[in-house]
Structure 1
Amino acid sequence: MPKDLKSMTAQSKSSPPPELGDLRHAIDGVDGALVALYAKRLGLVNQVLEVKKQYGLPASIPERVEEVIVRVRGEAERAGFLPDVAEKLWRLLIKEMIVYEEGHLK
């Protein structure tokens, strides 16, 4: 590797270009907004949990899970996001919320 290329590679590893830092900062902001939305979603899950307790409903209702997945895939596609990735994310989210609900329904 030429000496100049080595020094450029070493420099890029130690200090990223300014625009990369700006983009990372923007991504961090989106991540923060996502966490806030997940917290809001958890608040709604807690309300659902209370209703399920009242009516003796199970944590997992497979028909509802599939309904959510179909809706989320459609929303992802319309928003220009990857539907397969959205489905994977939501299946994980739903799975974890079911575990959470099961722990509170006992």
Structure 2
Amino acid sequence: MTAPDPTAPASLGEVREQIDALDRRIVELIAERQQWVVAAGSLKSDEQGVRAPARVDQVIAKVRGLATEAGASPEVVERSYRAMIGAFIELELAHLQGVHPTASR
């Protein structure tokens, strides 16, 4: 069996099935990343440590480079990461304040 070719899809249904499979993998990776973010957050003692703008800039620069290497749009990857990082910062701040959202489980 050969791998599906996104440049020559057999049907819209096939394309959607492949996207759905990728979404599952992406969500699993986000969940794993969240576990590490929560672990990092437990080592931080204040809001500035959570927000860490220099670290955010470092991550954005790194993922833009990775996007270019992978043939992805650096702009799309940056916007996706900024949204994800923003959500994780909110999660870390909630943990720092002693609020443990159910999404962190």
Q: Shorter-chain-normalised TM-score: which range?
A: 0.7 to 0.9
Question: Which TM-score applies when normalising by structure 2?
Answer: 0.78
Cα distance between partner residues in 2 of 1:92 and 1:66: 13
For structure 1, the residue ranges without an aligned partner over 5 or more in a row are 1-17
Question: Which TM-score applies when normalising by structure 1?
Answer: 0.77
In the TM superposition, 1:1-80 aligns within 5 A as 19-53=11-45, 56=46, 58-80=49-71
Q: Which amino acid aligns with 1:80?
A: G
In the TM superposition, residue 51 of structure 1 has moved relative to its aligned partner by 1.2
Higher RCO (C-alpha 8 Å, min separation 6): 2
Which secondary structure state, in structure 2, belongs to the residue aligned with residue 36 of structure 1? helix
1:57-76 Cα distance to aligned partner (Å, 9 max, x none): 63100000000000000000
For structure 2, the residue ranges without an aligned partner over 5 or more in a row are 1-9, 98-105
- Could you tell me which of 78, 84, 101 is aligned with 1:87? 78
Cα distance between partner residues in 2 of 1:50 and 1:100: 11
Cα distance between partner residues in 2 of 1:51 and 1:59: 10
Alignment root-mean-square deviation, CA:
1.3
Cα distance between partner residues in 1 of 2:85 and 2:78: 10
Cα distance between partner residues in 1 of 2:51 and 2:74: 23
Cα distance between partner residues in 2 of 1:40 and 1:90: 15
Which contiguous aligned blocks of 4+ residues in structure 1 show a shift greater than 6 angstroms?
Answer: none
Structure showing greater Rg: 1
